[in-house]
Amino acid sequence: MVLRTLLRAVIVGPPGSGKGTVSDRIVKTFGLKHLSSGDLLRSNINDKSEIGLVARAYIDQGQLVPDDVMTRLILQELKVLEQHCWLLDGFPRTVTQAASLDKAYQVDTVLNLNVPFETIKQRLTARWIHPASGRIYNTDFNPPKIPGIDDATGEPLIQREDDKPETVIKRLQAYEAQTKPVLDYYRSNGVLETFSGTETNKIWPHVHAFLACKLPVVNKTETSP
| Residue 123 annotated to the active site | no
Q: Is 109 in the site for ligand G5P (CB under 6 A)?
A: no
Q: Which of 19, 25, 130, 208 binds ligand G5P (CB under 6 A)?
A: 19
Q: Is 81 in the site for ligand G5P (CB under 6 A)?
A: no
Confirm if 47 and 39 have CB atoms less than 8 A apart: no
Instruction: In angstroms, give the least distance from the CB of 135 to Mg ion.
Output: 11
Binds 105: which of Mg ion, ligand G5P, none (CB < 5-8 Å by kind)? none
Alpha carbon distance 57, 79 (integer Å): 27
User: Which residue is catalytic, options 25, 42, 127, 135?
Assistant: 127
Q: Which of 14, 16, 18, 20 binds Mg ion (CB under 5 A)?
A: 20
Count residues near ligand G5P (CB under 6 A): 36
Alpha carbon distance 179, 53 (integer Å): 23
Q: Which of 8, 20, 107, 182 binds ligand G5P (CB under 6 A)?
A: 20
| Residue 19 annotated to the active site | yes
Site for ligand G5P in 129-168 (CB under 6 A): 136-138, 140-142, 162
Number of neighbouring beta carbons within 10 Å of residue 23: 24
Alpha carbon distance 59, 71 (integer Å): 16
Number of neighbouring beta carbons within 10 Å of residue 142: 14
Query: Contact positions toward ligand G5P, by CB under 6 A?
Result: 13, 15-21, 37-38, 41, 58-59, 62-65, 70, 90-93, 97, 123, 127, 136-138, 140-142, 162, 171, 199-201
